[in-house]
Structure 1
Amino acid sequence: MSVVLSLSDTVRLTEVLLSVAVIQQSAEHMTRVGAERLIFGVRVLVAFGLLIGDNSGPLVAGVAIAGLFAAELVMLHRFQGPYNGGSSKMTLLIIACLGAYHLAPTERGRELAVAYLAAQLTLSYFVSGYVKVIRHEWRSGRALTDVFRFSAYPVSERLRGWADRPRVLLAMSWGVMGFELVFPLTLLHPLALMAGLFVAAGFHFSNALFFGLNRFFWIWICAYPSILWFQGRVFG
């Protein structure tokens, strides 16, 4: 069973998910003081505006998107680059694509804005797999071994024991690389895409559970409606 989304429903669902993700990202900073608290506080307020934008009309949603974009630019300056690496880049990408959708004067332009987000989501997996597979340390499983043994990422010291399971980590390495490399092929069928997104969400969830990378889980989920719409629009 496939999921059929209209373009407007896709954008609205993306806006709702983005709002929740931005509020979740910003809430932890409400205990801070000074400029940082102000920046993230404004971010929360603007995200709430986007969350209710559907009931208040497209103008409110458009203004909220512009506000989030401005907040991201302020954060880039404040933190001298992306605040949280890849998740911050994906946040800015989604905001920019939503902004392009609201600014586009034609239906084709609006479709291209959402299609671009779907294409970037697809590439985020494929390129990640390609970068890994050309590196010997990933093909041998050593990269994951080093992550568990030496990095500060594992949220529990007990997880470091996985570094002593080289065969398991080798299988995990090839499992991750294989999935990321074949992900674009899931676009060929709606059921394959649903399965691919389910696996991808599970991958992000495991990273959040084991390594504390929770921001990646929420913000990547925000882009999933775009690829569901794109699959139906291009391959359906």
Structure 2
Amino acid sequence: MILSEVVWLTSVMVGLAVAQQTLEFLADRRVRWLVMPRLLPCVMMIAGVYQDWAVWMLFLYGIVLLHRFDGPYNGGSDKMTMLILACLSAYHLAPDPRWQDTAMAYLALQLVLSYFVSGYIKIIKGDWRRGEALQDVFRFSAYPVSENLRGWATRPKLLCLMSWAVMGFEVAFPLVLLHPYALYLGLLIAGAFHLANACLFGLNRFFWIWLCAYPSLIWFQDRIMV
């Protein structure tokens, strides 16, 4: 993909992801009046109409929401949303193609680091290496885990294996930059990981917004292989 196609596709995907995030507030009367205006720039991005203005509107609106909620409302997914919007905003403001490349390359590298750093932080913690962290997630988590799945907390060997599988994949993720096939396999596994978290724990926002950054990494890997 050429960069302009990557930016267009990323903008459409972000528009869909932020629209989904916004619609989740419909049931909350306290804040829905505050977030509903985001739907307009989302529709503009999805339709490909004045995407640059729509991106800037969403980015500035995100800053307003950060101030209103005294930080990210939904943690990591909101941070990734703002990162992508910031990079898209920088792309549209860039004075020449070199700076446009830099803006999207930064997004790709941040995506790689999001996995590597997450894995590194886990692997240096003893409770993750022993599988106890996942035991606590299934046993005590407030996320919408079914009672049957909570029974996994009684299977320490399985959770220890799962812990190492997650940590190993995350710290090895930068290796996907070495070959296109490795990249597509890595993104497939990463997408499946986020989908599993969405199904098991209701972390649906992470699934959609992390996918939005994948086109930039595909473009970036192609560039560095030239």
Q: What is the correspondence of 1:31-46 to structure 2 with a 5 Å cutoff?
A: 31-33=27-29, 36-46=31-41
Give the distance between the partners of 1:146 and 1:33, measured in 2 at CA.
33
Secondary structure of the 1:153 match is coil
Point out where structure 1 has 5 or more consecutive residues left out of the alignment. none
Q: Counterpart in 2 of 1:224? A: 214
Match of 1:48 among 35, 40, 43: 43
Amino acid aligned to 2:223: R
Q: What is the correspondence of 1:63-142 to structure 2 with a 5 Å cutoff?
A: 63-142=53-132
TM-score normalised by L of structure 1: 0.93
Match of 1:18 among 14, 17, 38: 14
RMSD between aligned alpha carbons? 1.0
Q: Counterpart in 2 of 1:9? A: 5
- In the alignment, is residue 211 of structure 1 matched against residue 207 of structure 2? no
Please report how far the alpha carbon of residue 154 of structure 1 lies from its aligned counterpart in structure 2 after TM superposition. Answer: 4.2
Give the distance between the partners of 2:138 and 2:57, measured in 1 at CA.
39
Match of 1:185 among 175, 193, 205: 175
Give the distance between the partners of 1:150 and 1:30, measured in 2 at CA.
28
Please report how far the alpha carbon of residue 216 of structure 1 lies from its aligned counterpart in structure 2 after TM superposition. Answer: 0.2
Range moving further from structure 2, 193-202 or 24-33: 24-33
Give the distance between the partners of 2:66 and 2:42, measured in 1 at CA.
18
Contact 1:148 1:154 in 2 (8 A): no
Point out where structure 2 has 5 or more consecutive residues left out of the alignment. none
The structure, 1 or 2, with the larger RCO (C-alpha pairs under 8 Å, 6+ apart) is: 1
Contact 2:138 2:145 in 1 (8 A): no
Contact 2:139 2:153 in 1 (8 A): yes
Query: 1:101-150 deviations in whole A, cap 9, x for unaligned?
Result: 00001101000000000000000000000000000000011100111111
Amino acid aligned to 2:46: L
Aligned length: 226
